[in-house]
Structure 1
């Protein structure tokens, strides 16, 4: 049999067609992927037909990012051996909480690797750096790090009321889905982040807001009750408006724009000259 060496072998084609987590797009099918599986658990639920079902899930990492994996079948995964490296073949991608994740339908789609494709990744320290412009121009992603300047502090920062049924924010004591409801207090911060080219909404949930403020939600409630919401927001604007920050978390990008969900937010202490050099390098500008 004649073999033309100008063409890739079947093995090479299989390797080159392998996707990374950063390449995943919602709706993709027959996807092959190698990743580090960091966690694994199951939960039971009742579907619309009244049937008891079980779904398994875990967290995946690779050098390009992180995502979730869901399986509709039991897989031979020993939690005691986690983290481990696994290969997925013929799986599909669907959006979960706004970001593309892996869905497994058959046990044959998953195999454990005996040899490590890279050094084990520390999940606590694994954030893939993107410019804000790159994030807003691409698809939704988890495990990202980006930076920019806070150009707006939203007026609804602080204590909000949520619907106890669907967790939507109440407007004038009413939920858009369930009508008038007794609200449940929650803490949320909202900013607009800009890098000079693109901008995105930046949201912090209760946990990340408490970390940024250095206060518990109960302490913020006391401030609200004592000084009022307007005073709290004005103080936030004085403290954060115009500040250059680094955020770590996930990006949700759709037809309405880009939204950053921050797990961590901190001031960027990189010297201005170093930041400007980084921008020039990014855009190929010679000083």
Structure 2
């Protein structure tokens, strides 16, 4: 599957380009970016073509991997789907429901496959744990803490990201927490409460369709010594904790590539497709509304 990369920022360089270059069945063929010089530098490093015109790249490939800010991603995902390209997208799919819905509609109309890269859903240990817990229906409550230090530690390559500075932890790490909780506890019926904490920290209380509730603590401004991700489930059988994975994002992306290939060949949607990405966007948008209202 001839695959082009859209994006030239830190995430494209650290994760997407290495994964595309290593995948046995995805042929990394070209790079497009909003900064032509950066696209050329990245493309030259992998011996592929740098494209000045995104439409030209879309005409030359079967699929695109997107490592761009969500608002830019959503617009280009619609364009790529309409050009007949399968989509390997990043979280969040979009930061407005309208943009996310446009992607889903374009995917459905074009009949292309889509996979949204939620890291823990493509790491073997965590994915197996999620499937195991989802098979149980007796959960009482869940707790997710996704605490990063992007804005509080020195040297993070993502600290200068304009969209992260604007949207904060809710939209950057909130999708990770939801990608674990939703398949286990069920869809979110209501964002019951939302409150601001220190820095960009937010706290959410969710009611799930399965009858359980969950709480989320999300931050990109945690002290470095306090950073980390924890998911705890409590139910009739006791307490379960999300295992820690030592596998890199590159290897998780290789599995996301496998998932895209499988979806394109079978026509069966992956659990983390654009429609799931839209649902995550809808929940985060509802939470954002609650924060704005001071609820």
Q: Judge same fold: TM > 0.5, yes or no.
A: no
TM-score (norm 1): 0.27
Structure 1 or 2: more strand by fraction = 1
Relative contact order higher in (CA < 8 Å, ≥ 6 apart): 2
TM-score (norm 2): 0.27
Larger Rg: 1
Structure 1 or 2: more helix by fraction = 2
